[in-house]
Amino acid sequence: SLFRLKDLEVAKLGDSDVHVKMLAAPINPADINMIQGTYAILSPLPAVGGNEGVGEVLEVGQHVAALKPGDWVIPAGSGLGTWRTEGVFPEEMLLKVPSDIPVPCAATLSVNPCTAYRMLTDFETLVPGDSVIQNAANSGVGQAVIQIARAFGIKTINVVRDRPDLPKLVERLMALGADHVITEEMLRKPEMKDIFKNVPKPRLALNCVGGKSTTEMLRHLQPKGTMVTYGGMAKQPVMVPVSAFIFRDVRLRGFWMTQWKKDHAQDQESLASMMDALCQLIREGRLAAPACTEVPLQDYKAALEAAMKPFTSSKQILLL
């Protein structure tokens, strides 16, 4: 196995360091890709897994001004190694978050809701009444897209893979605020016309699958619309008919939260305003954590196995 639970000495607290007791950390697909070596970031080994989570500040170095004991923090970037009970990190690797939001919400805040928020705001100027189409709508990002779009007054058309418990999944996504939930097969059916009787054709498509499902989704995009790819779960390329480019001038873009954070490292304003907006939605009960299963750290093997199962609809969160 690639994993071991180890006891390590906690590093000495430097002047600009923060000693953090981790509270909870989820297992995301990207964490697993990083371990398999199929992700754009490779950590020098041995490494601690986990890119996301929330911790409580225990102690700060004498040059640390923005954080104090008792504050809650999440990773500012990727590769922090959150699957640990405690750690000492440089101050600039941490972001303060309010401690009046639920632990699972804070633990899952830095990747998926931020990705959903940026994709909904950075590519097309959407106004209330507009629509968005997305595949893998039951993923962590997908669930956040549904809820944030709902708060913005934007309609969502949500594509999921057919599965044994489909009605249950549809019900769950509708409860989050989805306007339509359809299977990949339905994308090809004439019944799609019925959806567009009461919802405008989308100007924005969000893709984290690839392959056939993506090509089918693209068909329903408005002329000059944008498809943003942020994942490739089918491990197949994105196929685009030439006609979509020539006659409908669709735009194909990509998004990676890690890159956005690098690009905006000097622009604390845009990061802070996004975090404020998301925390406000959480407080108002309009953005919930994804459906999750909380697992004590010592049961990490079972949690990793569950996280890799197909059709998984619950995020594994390690309690630290």
Domains and CATH numbers, the chain: 17-108+289-319 (3.90.180.10), 112-257 (3.40.50.720)
Contact 105, 288 (CB under 8 A): yes
- pLDDT tens, residue by residue, 228-284: 999 988 889 999 999 999 999 999 999 999 999 999 988 989 999 999 999 999 999
10 backbone dihedrals φ, ψ, rounded to 5°: -80, 135
Contact 71, 57 (CB under 8 A): yes
- Minimal CA–CA distance to 182: which of 192, 172, 190? 192
Q: How many whole angstroms separate alpha carbon 302 and alpha carbon 317? A: 11
From 204-213, 224-233, 307-316, the region with the lowest mean pLDDT: 307-316
What's the pLDDT score for residue 1?
56
Q: Could you tell me how many residues make up the chain?
A: 320
Q: How many whole angstroms separate alpha carbon 101 and alpha carbon 46? A: 33
One of 39, 117, 230, 300 is an active-site residue; which one? 39
What's the pLDDT score for residue 47?
84
Q: How many whole angstroms separate alpha carbon 73 and alpha carbon 152? A: 27
What's the pLDDT score for residue 296?
92
What's the pLDDT score for residue 137?
95
**What's the average model confidence in pLDDT over 214-226?**
96
Tokens for 135, please give them: 């595949």
What's the pLDDT score for residue 31?
86
In the residue annotation, 39 being an active-site residue is answered as: yes
Tokens for 178, please give them: 């989805």
- pLDDT tens, residue by residue, 20-75: 999 999 998 888 888 887 777 777 778 888 999 999 999 999 999 999 999 999 99
- pLDDT tens, residue by residue, 142-194: 999 999 999 999 999 999 999 988 999 999 999 999 999 999 999 999 989 99
Of the pLDDT bands very low, low, confident and very high (cuts 50, 70, 90), residue 17 is very high
Q: Give pTM, 2 decimals.
A: 0.91
Q: List the alpha helices (DSSP H) in the chain.
A: 29-36, 103-107, 112-122, 140-152, 166-176, 192-198, 212-218, 242-248, 257-263, 268-283, 300-308
Instruction: Please give the radius of gyration of the chain, using alpha carbons only, rounded to the nearest integer.
Output: 20
Q: Give burial (CB, 10 Å; 0-12/13-18/19+) of 207.
A: buried
Q: How many whole angstroms separate alpha carbon 184 and alpha carbon 74? A: 35
What's the pLDDT score for residue 35?
80
**What's the average model confidence in pLDDT over 118-130?**
97
Indicate the angle between helix axes 166-176 and 140-152, nearest 10 degrees.
40
